[in-house]
Every structure is written in C-alpha cells, then in structure tokens.
Structure 1
Amino acid sequence: MNRLTASKKLKVFFWLFLILLLIAGGITAVGYMKYKEFIRHSIPHSIKYTVPSGASLSYVAADLADKEVITEKWFFVLMTRFDRKDSMIKAGEYQIPAGSHPKDILAILVRGTEIQYSQSIIEGWTFKQMLASIRKNPNLVHDTKNMDTEEVMAFIGYKGLHPEGRFYPDTYKFPVGTKESQFLKRAYKTMEQHLEALWSNKSADAVVKTPYEALILASIIEKETAVDNERQTISGVFTRRLRKGMRLQTDPTVIYGMGDEYQGDIRYKDLRTDTPYNTYTRYGLPPTPIAMPGKEAIYAALHPESGKSLYFVAKGDGTHTFSATLKQHNRAVKKYLRQRRNNR
C-alpha cells in the first residue's frame, strides 16, 4: 500500500515537473519571440535624443521606452548588460536616424558622437561684432552675457589683454551646452596656433618685429581688401611706407578709432582728428589690431610683395589702383572720384 502511494506520488511529481517545464519553455519561447520583435523594431523617422548627465542605464531605457523609441525597457537593459556596455553610455544630444534598431541606438549612445552645431567668426569682424553674434547663438550657454570686454577677457583667462584680432576666423562645430567662454577660449587658442606657425615661416622682407605687430598689420590688410591677389601687394605698400617712415594713412584705422561716431562715411575733419588709431596723424602701426584677420591676411603681412608702389586707391569694383608716386596716385584718386560722381 505504502509502495503504491509512493509510486503515485512520484508520478504526480513527474507530471507536475513536466507541466512546469512545458510552461517555463513556453514562457521562454514567448519571451524569445518578444525579444526578437524588440531587436527587429526600428524607428520610422529620425529623432533627437538627449542623455542627461549622470543618467543610469535604467533611466535611459525607461525614457527611450516612454518616447516609443524602443518597445521594451527591460529588453534594452538586458541587451546592454549582455553586451557589457551598461557603463559606457555617454551623456549628450544625439541624432538617431530613421530605421535604427535597438542595437544601432545603443551603438550611437556608446560612441558618444553628439549633434554638432556651428558658429562662425567672419574675417574682418571686430570683437564687438563677434561677441554680438555669439550671444545670439541659441545652442551656446551664455555665461559671459552680462560681462563687458575686460570682464570677458579676464573670465577666459587673459586678463588685461586687448581682445581685438585675437580670435581666429573660422566656422566652429560644437555640441549643445557648450559655454560661450569655452568657445572663446578655443577661438583664441586657434589664433595663437596659426599665428605661431605663420610667424615661424615669415619672410625676411617682413617689417613687423613681433607676432602681435603681424596681427595688427594683418588686421589692416583684412579691412583694406577682400581680393586674394591684392593682400600681399597691399602688405608691400604698407611695408615700404613703414620702412621709409611714412604714415600709413589708411581709412580703416580711422574708422576703428572713431568707434560709434562712425556713421558710414569719413569726413575730412575725421582724418584730421587725432586718435590712437588715426594713421593720418600718427606714424607707425596703431596700438592694437582693428579686426579679426584671417590666415591669408596674416600670411600677407609676413610675406609682403616686392615693388615700388607706395599708394593705392579703390577703383570702385573692390580692387585697387597702385601707384609709385604721389602724382600718379592723385591722378588715380581723381579718376575714382569722377567714376563715383558718374555712377550716382
């Protein structure tokens, strides 16, 4: 009797075990099928997704699921841990392209290649113009917004330095959340690097004695012409005038010295009004650059073109007429003024 009872109990346990095994197998099969569906799921359109600083894997997975980027939070967690990437997700703003699967999404978050925004510094801009443009960029954190020029320079680590000409013109890429101060430091250091490299290969004919003087002369050349093949010619004119002890007599320096008083035209009295930047009343270079010079203008300042011309005047089409004597120059000026009157 006892043996029969024991046999029945054994059979019951066997069938229970078999049933539980089948249930477990069924659950596993369903789970596997759901996981395969999870892996195959792709987003229908491109999206921007931000991983906050300090976010955990569980947070990211739940957030992706809430935004319907993935279908199941825990599958994403398990997939990430199985791939041993649970501590490799990087904070930042990402572009996830249409058609991305969960493994693609994980790869993007692990790779850490953030969306890049841009800000340009244009050749010939003043520091004031540059700062105004930067402060309008919605993708920069405006941590210098309420600072004046001196405070900005101190804040980025260059206390007491005049900012003009010290930031390299270029289009810079950066992720959202970059601070203005970080952007300015980068542009400042980029100018330092380019200026150092160009200075190390300067021509023996260059009249400037220091890299900063090169920056000053380059800024004047930048404001005088946008024509590539004229920069070294103009540099040659200025170089010869400086060597001969002649005043540079260049309008852009006068305009810079006038500041907000400049209203779009220079009058005779402006040329006679002395400022530290008036190269009609003062000899030599002005005390600082007057704008942000580009690489080509710096190169021109350090590689002046040889020749005899000491004067130049605009033609009215963006180019200039160069003259070796004052008599020739005066004729060119009269021609320019006559053309200007005829075009009115």
Structure 2
Amino acid sequence: MVGPLNRSRTIATVVVLICALGVVVFCHYEMWKHHEIEIEEAQSLEIQPGDHFADIASKLQSQGIIQNIGYFELLARVSNSTGSIQAGEYSFSGSYTPVTVLQNLVQGNVVTRTLTLPEGGSFDEFLHVLESTPKIDFNLTNRNVETALAELKITGTWDQIPSNHGEGWFFPDTYQYTTSTPASEVLSIAHSKMIDELREAWTQRDPTTPLNTPYELLILASIIEKESGVIEDQRQISGVFSRRLTKGMRLQADPTVIYGLGDSFDGNLTRAHLNMEHPYNTYRNYGLPPTPIAAPSRAALHAAANPALGDALYFVSRGDGTSEFSATLEEHNRAVRKYQLNQKD
C-alpha cells in the first residue's frame, strides 16, 4: 500500500517531470521559431480567400518552407494571427524563420508584378494588354468599348468628355498589380492618373494656345503622340498644329486619317484614303477630330499645352524618328522629296 508520503513524492516527481518537459518543449519551440531555413529554389504559394489556416500550414510544410505544423499553428495562435493571413500569391526564397514566414503572410507581402499600357496605345490595345496579362482578373464582360466604360462606371462629366468613347481616357504608364487584381482596378487608376495629368497640363498651358477645353488639349496631345515619340520634336509639332488651327488651316495629320480607317487600314496610306469622308479625316475637315485617337504621354500633354514658337506650318518624318520642319509649302515639298521620296533637287 502506498502511503501518503510516497504518493506526495510521486505527484511531485510527475510535476517536476512535466515542468521539465515543458521547459524542454518551450526551449525547443523558441529555438525552432527563430531557426533559419534556407530555401534555395523559390517556392510559390497561393492562398485563396477563406483558406483554413491548417491547410495553409500543410502547404508550407509540403513545400519545405516550415518544418513543424504544430509549432507553426502554436506560433500563429500565440500571436493571434490565425485569422489574419492575407490571400494572394507569395514567393519564398533565401533565408526565412517561421516568424518571418508568418509575418509575410499576415502583412500580405504578396508577389507584385507590372504591366505596361503603352504610350500612344488605343483603348482597345489597353484592353488586349489586360486580357493577355497573366495572373490578372479580366473582370470586364468583353472588350467592347462602351460596355467596358459602363462597367467601369466612368462617365463624361469632366470638361465635355463623352461617356461612350474610351480613347485618351487612360494614362499610359507601367502599373503594379498582384494575383487576381481586377482589370477594372488598373483602368480606374489609369483613368484617375490621366485626369490628374491633363488637369496639370491645362493649368500650366500657354494662354495663347488655340484650345478651348482640356478635352481639346487631350485630343491634340493624342495626335502629337502618334506623329512622333521624340520629345524634342513634340513641342515643334504642337507649334505647327497650333499655328494651323489659328490660321484656319486643316491639320492634315496622317494619324487621324489612319485612326478613322480602323481595321480596314493595311499599313499603306494612299491618296484615296486622304479623300475619304469621315470625322477623323483632317485632310478634308477643319479643326480637331471629335475625340482623341490614342493615349498621350505626359510629354505630349505638356507639348500640346505649350507649343514651341516659330513659323513652321509643315513637317515630315526624316525616317529616323525625327522630323523636318518647314515654314513654306515649297520648303516642305523639298523636304518630302529628300526624306520620303529619296530625291534631290
């Protein structure tokens, strides 16, 4: 029969052993959570909204990112983080401890990618970029311009911008996105940025410029952008167009004609094209076309707002991206023969 004294000793021994085991486990846990694991080959982990923490921990262990699910769950519970994991795509490479792994998941340090909406691109081209961009959520019903604008809830309430035409509304730039970022979110950011850039260019414009609204500035900037991507030439081109508008001359801008031809343009602009009747034929029509023809860059916006002084009324491409400017038709014809027809006087 075990007496009271022996029973007390047994209980004391068990308590001591439990405490000792607890100390050992605690020390092991403390060492584990700060132990660095070297991940030589990048491991990608996608967490969907609503994923259970246990499933996330299991994925981490199966990919060698953590080595003890139980400890990792304990770490998350102690830090009250089990419900704070951010959905998204993560990439792990290099040195990590369980603590830094958990911190990455809680802070939402997800993989960030970039996409570029090109300068001078059309709205349809922008939609194509977004539709073909990997890991993005193309959440628009289709690539129809009017449908896309309606779904974006963008209306033409600012300075006479029409609500059914997407050209020129979205700023061409490089944008960051994460896995499953909605395409509409990227376009909304690009739209807000274009409004900001256009407003800045308009407030800094030369007061003598023959433009009546910010939207007219946007239209002219889009033509300048398509005429030349050379920043040094853009203000000169703006000067030519501004003087033509002031003098009541037609702009005679090839890019507007090409835009009006749409998908029927095969890359060869002919005299017949210049004689066709449509709203974008600035060889037949006076003034600006009804809408922008592309997305202008910041440089083109400011070139449209501040045209260069001078007397040039004509310009022609030299074939190297730059332009030759002329004040008279005679000078211009010589430049055309030299640079486009490869002829000399």
TM norm. shorter chain > 0.5: yes
- Which residue does 1:47 correspond to in 2? 43
**How far 1:292 moved relative to its partner?**
0.8
Greater than 6 Å deviation, 4+ residue runs: none
Query: Quick one: which amino acid aligns to residue 144 of structure 2?
Result: D
Which of 88, 92, 101 lines up with 2:84 in the alignment?
88
For residues 194 and 6 of structure 2, the distance between their equivalents in structure 1, rounded to whole angstroms, comes to 84
Query: Quick one: which amino acid aligns to residue 169 of structure 2?
Result: R
Which of 194, 207, 223 lines up with 2:226 in the alignment?
223
Which of 133, 141, 162 lines up with 1:137 in the alignment?
133
For the 8 Å contact 1:143–1:181, the answer to whether it is kept is yes
Change (3 A) 1:133 1:140: same
Query: Quick one: which amino acid aligns to residue 209 of structure 1?
Result: N
- Which residue does 1:128 correspond to in 2? 124
**How far 1:44 moved relative to its partner?**
2.3
Which of 3, 11, 19 lines up with 1:17 in the alignment?
11
Change (3 A) 1:340 1:172: farther
Aligned residues: 335
Whether 1:195 aligns to 2:189 is no
**How far 1:56 moved relative to its partner?**
4.3
Which secondary structure state, in structure 2, belongs to the residue aligned with residue 286 of structure 1?
coil
- Which residue does 1:77 correspond to in 2? 73
- Which residue does 2:276 correspond to in 1? 273
- Counting aligned pairs with the same residue, the percent is 36
Which of 289, 314, 332 lines up with 2:317 in the alignment?
314
For residues 302 and 36 of structure 2, the distance between their equivalents in structure 1, rounded to whole angstroms, comes to 55
- Which residue does 1:291 correspond to in 2? 294
Which secondary structure state, in structure 2, belongs to the residue aligned with residue 173 of structure 1?
strand
Change (3 A) 1:25 1:340: farther
For residues 115 and 183 of structure 1, the distance between their equivalents in structure 2, rounded to whole angstroms, comes to 16
Residue deviations 1:119-155 (CA, integer Å, cap 9, x gap): 1011111122222121111211122253411111111
- Which residue does 1:99 correspond to in 2? 95
For the 8 Å contact 1:47–1:98, the answer to whether it is kept is no
**How far 1:246 moved relative to its partner?**
0.2
Which of 253, 257, 262 lines up with 2:256 in the alignment?
253
**How far 1:29 moved relative to its partner?**
4.0
For residues 56 and 166 of structure 1, the distance between their equivalents in structure 2, rounded to whole angstroms, comes to 42
For residues 268 and 249 of structure 1, the distance between their equivalents in structure 2, rounded to whole angstroms, comes to 12
- Which residue does 1:113 correspond to in 2? 109
For residues 214 and 301 of structure 2, the distance between their equivalents in structure 1, rounded to whole angstroms, comes to 10
Cα RMSD between the aligned structures?
Answer: 2.0
Change (3 A) 1:340 1:24: farther
Which of 154, 166, 177 lines up with 1:174 in the alignment?
177
**How far 1:63 moved relative to its partner?**
3.6
Residue deviations 1:274-327 (CA, integer Å, cap 9, x gap): 111000000000001111110000000000011111111112221111111111
**How far 1:99 moved relative to its partner?**
1.2
Query: Quick one: which amino acid aligns to residue 113 of structure 1?
Result: N
For the 8 Å contact 2:167–2:295, the answer to whether it is kept is yes
Which secondary structure state, in structure 2, belongs to the residue aligned with residue 172 of structure 1?
strand
**How far 1:253 moved relative to its partner?**
0.6
For residues 49 and 69 of structure 1, the distance between their equivalents in structure 2, rounded to whole angstroms, comes to 10
Show structure 1 runs of 5+ residues with no match. Answer: none
For the 8 Å contact 2:127–2:143, the answer to whether it is kept is no
Query: Quick one: which amino acid aligns to residue 201 of structure 2?
Result: L
Query: Quick one: which amino acid aligns to residue 91 of structure 1?
Result: A
Whether 1:162 aligns to 2:158 is no
**How far 1:50 moved relative to its partner?**
2.6
For the 8 Å contact 1:311–1:323, the answer to whether it is kept is yes
Whether 1:232 aligns to 2:235 is yes
- Which residue does 2:335 correspond to in 1? 332
TM-score, normalisation: structure 1: 0.91
For residues 164 and 142 of structure 2, the distance between their equivalents in structure 1, rounded to whole angstroms, comes to 19
For the 8 Å contact 1:316–1:340, the answer to whether it is kept is no
Which secondary structure state, in structure 2, belongs to the residue aligned with residue 276 of structure 1?
coil
For the 8 Å contact 1:198–1:299, the answer to whether it is kept is yes
Which secondary structure state, in structure 2, belongs to the residue aligned with residue 193 of structure 1?
helix
Which secondary structure state, in structure 1, belongs to the residue aligned with residue 94 of structure 2?
coil
- Which residue does 2:160 correspond to in 1? none
Query: Quick one: which amino acid aligns to residue 116 of structure 1?
Result: T
